[in-house]
Amino acid sequence: MTQTPTKPLLRALAGERVAPAPIWLMRQAGRYLPEYRALRAKAGGFLDLCFTPDYATEITLQPIRRFGLDAAILFSDILVIPWALGQPLRFEEGRGPVLEPIAPDGLDRLEREGVVERLAPVFETVRRVKSALPPPTTLIGFAGAPWTVACYMIEGGGSKEFLKAKRWALGAPDRFQQLIDLLVVATVDYLSAQVEAGAETLQLFDSWAGVLSETELERWSIAPLQRIVEGVKARHPSVPVILFPRGSGLGYARFAEASGADGLGLDTTVPLRFAAELQKQITVQGNLDPAALVTGGRALEEGIDRILSALGAGPFIFNLGHGVVPETPPEHVAALIERIQRTAA
Amino acid sequence: MTQTPTKPLLRALAGERVAPAPIWLMRQAGRYLPEYRALRAKAGGFLDLCFTPDYATEITLQPIRRFGLDAAILFSDILVIPWALGQPLRFEEGRGPVLEPIAPDGLDRLEREGVVERLAPVFETVRRVKSALPPPTTLIGFAGAPWTVACYMIEGGGSKEFLKAKRWALGAPDRFQQLIDLLVVATVDYLSAQVEAGAETLQLFDSWAGVLSETELERWSIAPLQRIVEGVKARHPSVPVILFPRGSGLGYARFAEASGADGLGLDTTVPLRFAAELQKQITVQGNLDPAALVTGGRALEEGIDRILSALGAGPFIFNLGHGVVPETPPEHVAALIERIQRTAA
């Protein structure tokens, strides 16, 4: 028996129009906040932050304390799954994640058993955050989408062309499917455990969906995400799922109609009239340019108002079209939230 | 009086269905060819290649000799315009272009007069290539789009977020408009001089169109490109213009309806059914994944066949969805061309 949700973010994900629009920001916890930088300076590496519940809880809560957003998103990283599968991972200052790249013949060396057990500190963080959150604030769990995680696993880090990942997908699709299948299973287990620890909704980040052709997008992004949504909902029927297939452009329509998700995160490039069309099928979330939040002033106000007036009449969650960047002045975030909350009409 | 074109590429740009589909490839001259690497090793820096007609002519002709494509594209770089405006530019091995970044108060130091004169070696290359090309081969001139060129000028090179460029555009739009206006004027002059030297069609590369929101795309990509198309056609009414607003997703429809261009280059992500819709308004060009060309075999064949069967019945030019990458085996390019030319039905 599903209860009617009362938290604003969950109401929007249930298809309701909520005014003022619920708001949270991708990377709302992070380097633009002095209190994050202070904690970061004390702690060890980035992975230590993710795997130490004291740190991860504190970081998750920092933006909630400062701004009173409608949702907290677990502080973690999409690459904890490859790490839990046994792939060596480190984060280098100024370079980002570095993994030992995996080749098709390395698949069998991944440790499929025990993934959830190795990620126990993450669930401990979820439990602690949940008990500390103010009642109207929703707790969002998350994971990377299989295509994006596979890209990192194969390229060994970020990439411009994703040539190694694409060559594997195009040249040895059966073997690539095995990697995707393995990630689907691990991700369903991981997300389900987050729900069991207290996550109330889940977001899947497909940061590199935007490099795939139509055919490959269908096979390597939409299909696996659809299986994850199905798998999680088989265990937790009432948990809403948000997909963020960044850069998928015209592919967004397919996510709305075929993925089975409850919410769709729109990147900055998605035209608002098209977003309003998607909104007839699914709750949309987005899509202010993070650069407008850095700039502030009139550019920020006009950007906010344009989005609210195009999408505020349907099921909608305000967010950026990509993560908060380190150059963002925290007072611009405060101004954004204030403007959203003033627009309750 | 406009003559009916006879070259396959120009016929397609005039709105005709041409079978077999004319084909050329973005970056068809470049590092994947051993003859290019040999010449590169002999010459000085990358800019020397662009500004020495002996080298630039030879490089432009290399893929034509090897493969017999339907078009040669001038070997040059989109950053020769900032260079001609007096902005220091160098190319670093493994890092790409490096410019001394320009700030809003540096606009007045750009040398607006004499741009075309300083680019004289480029037009000499165009003349030489034109006289050397086989009769059915079309000569394509090109330039960068103002938004993309402005990004390089402001960021000082490539970028992930284009935060400096976006902050300028959002925070000081009047001053940013001055930079765009200046680039529109220089680009119209530069492209017109290419036509006068022998270029038969022109392509404008807006490589970073895909980072703009709908409103910013309209103002900083579509509007300036429309003015360039208009400006060039005022001087050379019969020259067709192709736009390549890479990554502009749903924005592609606006380019088809509002830009005044004759052809639209589609990146790899554009779904083929949507491309076929655009084809009712404009000649489309694209959009095989460069990774499929690297992979070869079945992935390449299926990729080609899918595109031909979706777009081959309308005005169409075969191309990649992005440039040829250095890892591409030249024999895969030969196989691609052979398959296209076999499909004449």
pLDDT digits (tens, 9 = 90+) for A199-226: 999 999 999 999 999 999 999 999 999 9
Q: Would you place residue B129 in the very low, low, confident or very high pLDDT band (cuts 50, 70, 90)?
A: very high
Residues of chain A contacting B171 with CB distance shorter than 8 Å: 295, 297, 299
Whether residue A1 has pLDDT greater than 60: no
Q: Is A323 at the interface with chain B, CB within 8 A?
A: no
Q: Please state, in angstroms and rounded to a whole number, the distance separating the CA atoms of residues B10 and B13.
A: 5
**Minimum-distance CB partner of B325 among A161, A211, A212:** A161
Strand order in the sheet with A241-244: A71-73, A138-144, A201-205, A241-244, A263-265, A283-288, A316-320
State the complex-level ipTM. Answer: 0.94
Report pLDDT for B161. Answer: 87
Residues of chain B contacting A174 with CB distance shorter than 8 Å: none
Report pLDDT for B38. Answer: 96
Q: Would you place residue B2 in the very low, low, confident or very high pLDDT band (cuts 50, 70, 90)?
A: low
Segment B184-193, tens digit of pLDDT: 999 999 999 9
Minimal CA separation from B160 to chain A, in Å: 10
| A315 within 8 A of A283, measured Cβ to Cβ | yes
Segment A234-264, tens digit of pLDDT: 999 999 999 999 999 999 999 999 999 999 9
Residues of chain B contacting A247 with CB distance shorter than 8 Å: 210, 247, 249, 269
Residues of chain B contacting A327 with CB distance shorter than 8 Å: 163
Whether residue B47 has pLDDT greater than 60: yes
CA angle B266, B267, B271 (to 5 degrees): 75
Give residues with Cβ within 8 angstroms of B224, minimum separation 6.
B145, B146, B147, B180, B183, B184
Q: Would you place residue B4 in the very low, low, confident or very high pLDDT band (cuts 50, 70, 90)?
A: confident
Known catalytic residue at A252: no
Q: Across residues B122-146, what is the average pLDDT?
A: 98
Report pLDDT for A94. Answer: 78
Q: B167, B174, B214: which to substitute to probe chain A, counting the most A Cβ within 10 Å?
A: B214
Q: Is B213–A287 a contact, with Cβ atoms under 8 angstroms apart?
A: yes
Q: Is B250 at the interface with chain A, CB within 8 A?
A: yes
Q: Is A167 at the interface with chain B, CB within 8 A?
A: yes
Burial of B109-137, coded b for 16+ CB within 10 Å and e otherwise, reads ebeeeebbebbebbbbbbbbbbebbeeeb
Domains belonging to chain A, first-starting first, are 8-342 (3.20.20.210)
Whether residue B321 has pLDDT greater than 80: yes
Token code pair at residue A105: 């013949």
Q: Is B166–A214 a contact, with Cβ atoms under 8 angstroms apart?
A: no
Give CA separation, B54 vs B47, B62, B133, in Å: 13, 12, 15
Residue A191's nearest CA partner among A152, A154, A227, A151 is A227
Minimal CA separation from A190 to chain B, in Å: 30
**N-to-C CA span, chain B:** 33
**Minimum-distance CB partner of A170 among B167, B271, B291:** B291
Question: Helix/strand/coil (H, E, C) string of chain B?
Answer: CCCCCCCHHHHHHCCCCCCCCCECCCCCCCCCCHHHHHHHHHCCCHHHHHHCHHHHHHHHHHHHHHHCCCEEECCCCCCHHHHHCCCCEEEECCCEEEECCCCHHHHHHCCCCCHHHHCHHHHHHHHHHHHHCCCCCEEEEEEECHHHHHHHHHHCCCCCCCHHHHHHHHHCHHHHHHHHHHHHHHHHHHHHHHHHHCCCEEEEECCCHHHCCHHHHHHHHHHHHHHHHHHHHHHCCCCCEEEECCCCHHHHHHHHHHCCCCEEECCCCCCHHHHHHHCCCCEEEEEECHHHHHHCHHHHHHHHHHHHHHHCCCCEEEEECCCCCCCCCHHHHHHHHHHHHHCCC
Strand order in the sheet with B138-144: B71-73, B138-144, B201-205, B241-244, B263-265, B283-288, B316-320
Q: Is B269–A214 a contact, with Cβ atoms under 8 angstroms apart?
A: yes
Residues of chain B contacting A294 with CB distance shorter than 8 Å: 163, 167
Q: What is the mean pLDDT of chain A?
A: 96
What global pTM score does this model have?
Answer: 0.96
Q: Across residues A141-169, what is the average pLDDT?
A: 96
Mark which residues 168-197 of B lie under 8 Å from A by CB. 170-171
Segment A261-295, tens digit of pLDDT: 999 999 999 999 999 999 999 999 999 999 999 99
**Minimum-distance CB partner of A299 among B161, B171, B294:** B171
Q: Is B214–A271 a contact, with Cβ atoms under 8 angstroms apart?
A: yes
Q: Would you place residue B344 in the very low, low, confident or very high pLDDT band (cuts 50, 70, 90)?
A: low
